[in-house]
Amino acid sequence: MQTPTYAPVELAAGLRLPTNGLDYTILGIYFVVVLGIGFAARKSVKTSLDFFLSGRSLPAWITGLAFISANLAATEILGMAANSAQYGAYTVHWYWIGAIPAMVFLGLVMMPFYYGSKVRSVPEFLLLRFDRAAHLLSSILFAFAAILIAGVNLYALAIVVEALLGWPQWVAIVVAGFFVLAYITLGGLSSAIYNEVLQFFVILAALIPIVALSLKKVGGWDGLTHRLTATHGADFTTAWGGTGIGHANPLGANWLTIVLGLGFVLSFGYWTTNFAEVQRALSAKNLSAAQRTPLIAAFPKIFIVFLVMIPGLVAAALVPKFGTPGSGYQYNDAIPYLMQELLPNGVLGIAVTGLLAAFMAGMAANVSSFNTVFTTDIWAKYVVKHREDAYYVRFGRLITAVGVLASIGTAFLASSFSNIMAYLQTLFSFFNVPMFVVFIVGMFWKRASMKSGFWGLLAGTTAAMVNYFVIYKQGIIDIPTDQGANFVSAIAGFVAGAVVMVAVSLFTRPKPAEELQGLVYGTRSPGMAEPPAPGDEAWYRKPALLGWGAVVIAALCYIPFSF
């Protein structure tokens, strides 16, 4: 079964934006504000907890917006618009099934364990639940993945800036890397988070005019659907049309593949264990705020799909066979094409700034999580132990610089992949899915032994890599696309990790019950019993209400796209 894919992040050679001095002035103001936030945040950094987790002092609305902004990288903006131009309204699945349930599960079920145990990172939770071997392996794997993903964002930024503004790729990489390095080194996580809040609104300011002018261009939603139905068929504007098993549809996937492959394995693997996201929740001021962080983020996530999907649909409607050979455009040209055609100067500057902000938010999220894991989980626990707190703050700033330089190197590694969105999914299947199965088994099965964490993580990662590099790349089994291979790799990693954990647990000693308090479902730690802060008991702040409200709204959003 063919699974969804994205076009490579490359833009048409002749695509240039008619920018002028006003547009560059807006871009310059944005960079000045970014550095200003870094200098302002520096004053609040006095301890390592301040640098790596903002002193666990931030309100839920700040961490919630940072949570969604860290995810809203420009690779997603361009990639999902491209996805829509190629596959139509099926893009909604990446949001309403592929994100919302997992975000709600993180807030309602997993955050009490993360925050209540007072861990500073996701790998540190594995140290408490399993042993040092599981902790060290997960720390190394996460640090490696964070640098690779940060490099993807840098490389995609360079391609877009070169195509739209004419800057050489290396200039775009160095400039963006410098600004991310500057504000994270100055203010640590607080600087990254406050910049992500700013970037969230800049991204909205970039996308909303594109959507509004695009719909006006095609005669509104009715005019858009009429054009697309005539040129692409009725299923192109529906979410479930033609997804029965054995049926043909533009996406090339059936409902079972969508629900299980995307909605469970990859989605839960990403949202519940990706420290670049979870770190924002861990910086919240109390347990209630930490739980509400992904739940607050879920509400804009429900509706952001329209801001990235509509431009892709409009591009497909305006240009016959958009993205196919002979049309003059690639699928990733959807948003840049509309920027070129519809936006006046000034608004164009905001749109360009929004794209750059999105790339920087994605990179900053991975760099800030990398410096935390490398410093607290690797360096402080296994290399240089028991030093004064100020030493680890200094080292955290140093390793941030190292991480940015390494990201610049991996940016060029990403260039060897023809489809970087598929490359990202490959990384998630290698690193996030095996970690998710270790978490889920360890969190819900008391009998899971200390040794099972390490061997389950190793088996899951190995199985996913073997499937991709040996079974798929060597052609042992015919899988049509990279994304199809990623879905199979994710399932292989999940199953292998779970089977090995169960087998190892049956032959090794479980952790004493008294050491599992607050780490396994059905137990509680003192941190999970903290009284609510003033105002947190209000009905509209109840995590259960927010979580189930997001699920219901996401389900209702499917109704207009089901016929």
Structural domain range at position 253: 21-38+48-416
User: Two tokens at 260?
Assistant: 């299980």
371 and 392 Cβ atoms separated by less than 8 Å: no
Rounded Cα–Cα distance for residues 162 and 169 (Å): 6
Rounded Cα–Cα distance for residues 467 and 230 (Å): 40
Return the pLDDT at 244: 78
Please report whether residue 551 resides in a domain: no
The CATH number covering residue 231 comes to: 1.20.1730.10
Amino acid at 33: V
What confidence tens digit (pLDDT) does each residue in 237-271 have? 888 887 777 676 666 667 787 787 778 877 888 89
What confidence tens digit (pLDDT) does each residue in 208-219 have? 999 999 999 999
Please report whether residue 328 resides in a domain: yes
pTM of this structure: 0.86
**Residue 385 CA from chain centroid, whole number:** 32
What confidence tens digit (pLDDT) does each residue in 53-105 have? 777 888 999 999 989 988 877 667 877 888 888 888 888 988 999 999 999 99
pLDDT confidence band for 2 (50 / 70 / 90): very low
Return the pLDDT at 415: 64
What confidence tens digit (pLDDT) does each residue in 450-494 have? 999 999 999 999 998 998 888 877 777 666 556 667 777 888 899
* Mean residue pLDDT across the chain: 83
Rounded Cα–Cα distance for residues 150 and 152 (Å): 5
Please report whether residue 342 resides in a domain: yes
Q: Greatest CA separation found in the chain?
A: 69
pLDDT at 163 over 70: no
pLDDT at 526 over 50: yes
pLDDT confidence band for 310 (50 / 70 / 90): very high
Please report whether residue 521 resides in a domain: no
Please report whether residue 531 resides in a domain: no
Query: How many domains, in total, are found in the chain?
Result: 1
pLDDT confidence band for 416 (50 / 70 / 90): low
Please report whether residue 533 resides in a domain: no
Please report whether residue 499 resides in a domain: no
What confidence tens digit (pLDDT) does each residue in 314-365 have? 999 988 788 777 777 777 778 888 888 888 888 888 888 887 887 777 778 8
pLDDT at 412 over 90: no
Cβ atoms within 10 Å, residue 341: 14
